[in-house]
Structure 1
Amino acid sequence: MKNQLLKKSGILLLAVAMIPVSLFAHSGRTDGNGGHKDNKNKSGLGSYHYHCGGYPAHLHNGGQCPYKGNASTSSSSSTKSTNSGSARPTYETTTAKFYIDENYLAVNGIIDNGVTLVEMRPLCDALGIQIEWDSASTTVHCSKGDKTFSLTTNSKSAKLNGNPYALERAPKLIDGKTLLPARFVAEAIGRVVSYDASTGIITIE
């Protein structure tokens, strides 16, 4: 008789153990906020705690669910990464070909919406332009004879012979190289610029 009682008790305990823990998460229904009162503090979390759709009993620190908050943060990070990864430059790289006083010169640069910007040093040296670089403001001050001009990276506002001048495209600083609009640089010192579309050569006279 005792053996039969022990056997039945063992089966009952096993059946209870197999019931999902979530059934014992709380004894009362949750309110509209996903929580309920716990007047006897059985959870050890005080007189009120949350379950938020089946999660273990928890509190909302700072008014935010720790379970749903983690999911929101993860989603936001993923979206930010996706957005930054989809960004593309608005320019294309190129090697600009020049004839300057009948001398050939190839200079690395970019084409920014139809405007050719090239590395500052090779072009200015070929044109005999003196350069002063202000690293604090990323501004280049250039001069040749009585002609002067100043340009600042990422700004369309320039100075030409002391007067304000609006550039079509802003100079850029890319991989440590300052790129200037080639036509503006040449014309600023009184040179004439022409472009041969069939050869892709820029002639500066």
Structure 2
Amino acid sequence: MKKRILFVLMMAVLVNGFTLTASAASKPPTFVSVVMDGMKLWFPDAQAFVDDNQRTLVPVRFVAEALGAKVGWEAGSRAVPIQKGDQSIRLTIGSKVATVNSEEVAFDTQAVMQGGRTFVPLRFVSEILGVTVEWDDKTNTVLLSTKALESKNDPWGRLIRTSNLPSNAADYPYILADIPNAMYELAYPYSDPEDRKVSSTLYSTISEYNKENVDIWLSRLKTFGALWLNVDYRTIDDAWAQALFATKLQNSDAELKYIRQYVEWVKENKIQVEGYLDPEPSMIYYDGFGGDYIRVKFRIKFVSFDKQDGLLYDEWFPKDAKFEKNVWYEGYSDIKMKASVGGDWGNSLKVSSTASLFFNHTISKVE
């Protein structure tokens, strides 16, 4: 059974790119973070997501590769054969029956194909494949376990490392095994040198920086990113503008006018953008001017446009941008958030009206 458990998170992203673009509805796509055995999985072009029926669907091609499995694709029968050693599984798109070592196993949900990729329902992974699954609905995170962890974890189920530390390791409450030093060592945004505070200080001295509040901030930031980085000139409308506006901290309705102007520009310039961002809760920086920056890893692709100008709703969007079409770019960025009240302000922190992907960032083409 254990072979079968490991053998499978395999269910199979196979061909090319699943995409989710913001629709006319005000509800943004719900992307899901996946952590397996304490390590966050970063899918290069297809994120786990929650569909309209509230099913969590996960792409697991890279887990399969890590486990040494061979994953195939039979276009005629729409079947996914998976082989590892003497273990074999055969899954057919749209079927509620899988074949495991020549035995049929029935289940009450099915794998689906989106944009040419196969996505596996989380329920299939947990009930049929036997992988231990936990769901954190506050942060939309799936925690997958194939073995007992011996190392120390952070409050979000991530493995903490104690070697090969970044040069500024003391700035953080801990250092994670699945984050490279380059993300830790990215320079901080402009700040007041006397009043700035790094995340190790924030977590240890200020009561608002607790998991309950941070989970709220992460959820708001993910919702913002799902709208902000997914636009389509064919479907974007005023519902999108109002949904984006609602994710941000506002003292008036003034910014809504500018968001609506961007919507019209998207239509005129035939802009299509796909992307997602993944905020890191242990990387929060207070700039001393009232802004909290949460560091994110992001990936973005500019599918369609006539002119390079203003492809995102972002006042720092580079004026000399030379982005190629249909090419993924990735990097790190600090996204600014602000609170509207003093005192117990934790629940009021929302995305700042001046938040930018390009204010303090790195970006490079995915090779």
TM-score category, normalised to shorter length? 0.3 to 0.5
Specify which structure has the higher proportion of strand. Answer: 1
Higher relative contact order (CA 8 A, sep 6+): 2
Q: Is the radius of gyration larger for structure 1 or structure 2?
A: 1
